Amino acid sequence: MKLKLHDYQEVTKDFIIRTPYAAVILDMGMGKTATTLSAINELMFDRYEVSKVLVIAPLRVANTVWSDEIEQWEALKHLRYSKIVGTPKQRQAALEKDADIYIVNRENLPWLVEQCSTYFKWDMVVIDELSSFKSWKSKRFKAFMAMRPYMKRVVGLTGTPSSNGLMDLFAEFKVIDCGERLGRFIGEYRSRYFEEGRRNGNVVYEYIPMDYAECQIFDKIDDITISMKAMDYLEMPELISTKRLVRMSDKEKERYGEFKKEYVLSEIEGVEVTAANAASLSNKLVQMSNGAVYSDDHQVLSLHDQKLDALEDIIEAANNEPILVAYWFKHDLQRIEERLAKIKVKGTVLKTEQDFREWNKGNITVGLLHPASSGHGLNLQKGGHHLVWFGLTWSLELYQQTNARLWRQGQQAETVVVQHIVTEGTIDEEILKALENKYAQQSRLIEAVKAQVGGTDG
């Protein structure tokens, strides 16, 4: 197939070529992989500035997406690739293979760095999903930084640069510029842009951005960052986001309120439910909002069926149109499957490549998907245009990535409908509000470094 880049992709490719250390923020579905491969191809075979490239990616993406893109396009088929995945023996063989591009999953990065401690043969490194390097304490971050001085070019790709706030940006940009813009140490970054919030003795649990922090941080990283939003450059389907409110009975509300206040739920069927701390309380409240909760001895206690009833209504109203249902807890999945069996509707948990292919062929009526399994680079837009959130997540990144499985380039429907089943008066409402606030801050970052196709960057 012939590769023809969109104008915005050409702008991005040129930015990668002229910016040795670059952060590329492109919305999901805007073709980050093809754009980056085109830049690599030019740097390698037209400009002779790069000899070997290392791509670090999520496992599913490392296994399929990059190699599929290379095989798909005539202009890229000559690029030789080697996947450093699998068993240690398989990884070692792939490492020793002569190739232009080496692709490793991020979990194996520490192993790779250990193997290459005396010789780092890549002069360009691409991090596919920069947000996975947001923790400066992680093994992958430390492994990467050990080899960072030997890298002549670094490109970080992401659609969600600051899913949990400005604190994420420190580690993400340190892997790109070694701390030149936001500082080399996390303490320096915190003291410059944040003030301490909640704490317990010497332990600080929360850092609050100072009034000027956002503006100054965005200004610091502007010269090495390019960002574009899909809505500005692609003919995207209309995204319709709705909230389906369900209401607990007075008794169910009482139980929820009791647990929220006391961290203990009165025994149900002789079983006790407690929360050890605020984090555990939050987790349990989310479960209760969904209709069931794990007891202290890991039994599943059913509290209400309000969300299951709403999901049944949604499926009936869809009249056999495919629906993707996002769930969070194992007991959510179990209860959903039981309800589907009761109403004689077949549900399929989407886990394997074969499941995804069957969904895209239109052979699955109800697809059940865990947000953490939806993955980066997973395309499900051919199988349907309805997504239902049965259980919500605090993670903006997982939330956006899951929505983008359907709402992306290549979606044939004119609209993509995302429905959130929300239990009124519960933590569900707080999660939705938090996601909206995180999205607003991230959007300001994208706007701050947005490129204007045909004009100047900035």
**Structural domain containing residue 11:** 7-233
Can you read off the two tokens belonging to residue 95?
Answer: 């490492």
CATH number of the domain enclosing 74: 3.40.50.10810
What span, in angstroms and rounded, lies between the C-alpha atoms of 278 and 420?
Answer: 25
User: Last residue of some domain: 195, 210, 233?
Assistant: 233
- Residue 230: partners with Cβ closer than 8 Å, 6 or more residues away: 26, 27, 28, 29, 30, 236, 408, 409
What span, in angstroms and rounded, lies between the C-alpha atoms of 311 and 353?
Answer: 26
Whether residue 228 is found in the same domain as residue 251: no
Whether residue 113 is found in the same domain as residue 248: no
Domain membership flag for residue 20? yes
In order, the DSSP letters of 86-126 are SSHHHHHHHHHS--SEEEEEGGGHHHHHHHTTT----SEEE
What span, in angstroms and rounded, lies between the C-alpha atoms of 178 and 135?
Answer: 15
Can you read off the two tokens belonging to residue 413?
Answer: 């429907």
- Residue 291: partners with Cβ closer than 8 Å, 6 or more residues away: 302, 303, 304, 305, 306, 307, 308, 332, 335
pLDDT tens over the chain, length 458 residues: 788 888 889 999 999 999 999 999 987 667 889 999 999 999 999 999 999 999 999 887 888 889 988 998 999 999 999 999 999 999 999 999 999 999 999 999 999 999 987 788 999 999 998 988 999 999 999 999 999 999 999 999 987 777 678 888 999 999 999 999 999 999 999 999 999 888 888 888 888 989 999 899 999 999 999 988 776 777 778 888 888 888 899 988 888 887 777 666 555 555 556 665 767 778 888 998 999 888 777 788 888 999 999 999 888 878 788 999 999 999 999 999 999 999 999 999 998 888 888 998 889 999 999 998 765 557 788 888 899 999 999 888 889 889 888 888 778 888 888 999 999 999 999 999 988 888 888 888 777 777 766 544 43
What span, in angstroms and rounded, lies between the C-alpha atoms of 53 and 155?
Answer: 11
Domain membership flag for residue 144? yes
Given the structure tokens 């290392």, which residue do they identify?
A: 54
What span, in angstroms and rounded, lies between the C-alpha atoms of 129 and 151?
Answer: 18
What span, in angstroms and rounded, lies between the C-alpha atoms of 457 and 450?
Answer: 7
Whether residue 146 is found in the same domain as residue 284: no
Whether residue 16 is found in the same domain as residue 116: yes
Local structure of residue 395 (DSSP, 8 states): -
> Is there a contact between 445 and 218 (Cβ–Cβ < 8 Å)?
yes
Domain count for the chain: 2
Residue 415's beta-bridge partner residues?
238
Whether residue 265 is found in the same domain as residue 228: no
Burial class (CB in 10 A: 0-12, 13-18, 19+), 15: buried
What span, in angstroms and rounded, lies between the C-alpha atoms of 128 and 109?
Answer: 13
Domain membership flag for residue 457? no
Whether residue 176 is found in the same domain as residue 243: no
What does pTM read for this prediction?
0.67
User: Last residue of some domain: 181, 208, 233?
Assistant: 233
